[in-house]
Structure 1
Amino acid sequence: MSCDGPDCEKALENLYVFLDQEIDGASCDEIQAHLDDCSDCLNEYHLEQIVKALVGRSCTEIAPEPLREKVRLQIRTVQVEITDLR
């Protein structure tokens, strides 16, 4: 992915909470504005939407909250590792 500015970094760091609508309104508006202007981040957003939809169709059980939080933490950790490699 060719986007690497601070706005891209912030948008991608918050992509999952944005997708899940678990982010405050001001941050949501900021990320949406960035996605409207950045085709690379928008492509990443669409990819994550597809993955989320596929997982949603495949999984009918809801994971316990401690497990969900552990998975979120792991995803964020991997995102940070990937960002550090860039």
Structure 2
Amino acid sequence: MPDPRIVDCAYVEERVQQFLDGELSETEADELRFHLDACAHCIDGADLIEAYRRLVRRSCASHAPESLRLRIITQIHAVQVTRIEIREV
């Protein structure tokens, strides 16, 4: 694992998604925090990613219309009914 004093932007860019998801070890997360505290470019990038995530979460809060949900369920059932299994005898 890289020393936090020498973590570069490329290292941060490769791991920022995992960092934001809380998927890094504590040591790796500390390395990224150390770099982000000192690098305006990387913190701006991380902030932008987080803003996109918030936008997607807000957009996904809406529910599909009931008519769409029923059409999808109908299509799923149609596909399940038309499935044919061939077994060797």
TM-score strictly above 0.5 = yes
Q: CA deviation at 1:21?
A: 0.8
> Pairwise CA RMSD of aligned residues?
1.9
Runs of 4+ in 1 over 6 A off after TM superposition: none
Q: Give the equivalent residue in structure 1 for 2:45.
A: 44
Q: Answer with 1 or 2: which has the greater Rg.
A: 2
* SS class of match (2:24): coil
Q: Give the equivalent residue in structure 2 for 1:76.
A: none
Q: Give the equivalent residue in structure 2 for 1:54.
A: 55
* SS class of match (1:55): helix
Q: Give the equivalent residue in structure 2 for 1:27.
A: 28
TM-score, length basis structure 2: 0.58
Q: CA deviation at 1:6?
A: 5.9
- Provide the C-alpha distance between the structure 2 equivalents of 1:59 and 1:7, rounded to a whole number of angstroms: 34
More RCO (CA 8 Å, sep 6+)? 1
Identical columns (%): 36
Higher helix share: 1
* Contiguous gaps of at least 5 residues in structure 1: 61-86
* SS class of match (2:22): coil
Q: How many residues get paired?
A: 57
Residues 42/8 of structure 1: CA separation in 2 closer, same or farther (3 Å cut): same
AA aligned opposite 1:11 = V
Q: Is the 8 A contact 2:7 2:31 kept in 1?
A: no
Q: Give the equivalent residue in structure 2 for 1:75.
A: none
Which is further off, 43-52 or 6-15? 6-15
TM-score, length basis structure 1: 0.60
